[in-house]
């Protein structure tokens, strides 16, 4: 069943995703879009922390 948030205040429900420690070489799936890849690196930018993924096609 889909969560529509509080229908009386018209605030949309925000999805929550679990946090998990990441290690290099681990294969992960991005819940938001279904992308699957191995963790090959990470970087910090002005937008935040990012994990670099690589799928089986490079």
pLDDT at 31: 80
Is residue 7 a part of any domain in this protein? no
d(CA 22, CA 46): 21
| Structural domain boundaries enclosing 46 | 20-58
12 in a structural domain: no
Q: Give the pLDDT confidence of 4-53 residue by residue, as tens digits.
A: 666 676 666 677 777 888 899 999 998 889 999 999 999 999 988 899 99
The answer to whether 57 and 50 are in contact (CB under 8 A) is: no
Q: Is residue 52 part of a domain?
A: yes
Q: Does residue 9 sit within a domain? A: no
**What confidence score (pLDDT) does residue 46 get?**
92
Q: How many domains in the chain?
A: 1
Contact 53, 39 (CB under 8 A): yes
What is the end-to-end Cα distance of the chain in Å, rounded? 36
45, part of any domain? yes
């Amino acid at each position: 069943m889909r969560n529509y948030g509080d229908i009386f205040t018209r605030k949309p429900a925000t999805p929550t995703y679990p946090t998990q420690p990441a290690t290099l070489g681990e294969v992960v799936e991005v819940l938001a879009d279904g992308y699957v890849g191995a963790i090959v690196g990470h970087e910090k930018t002005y937008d935040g922390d990012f994990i670099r993924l690589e799928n089986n096609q490079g």
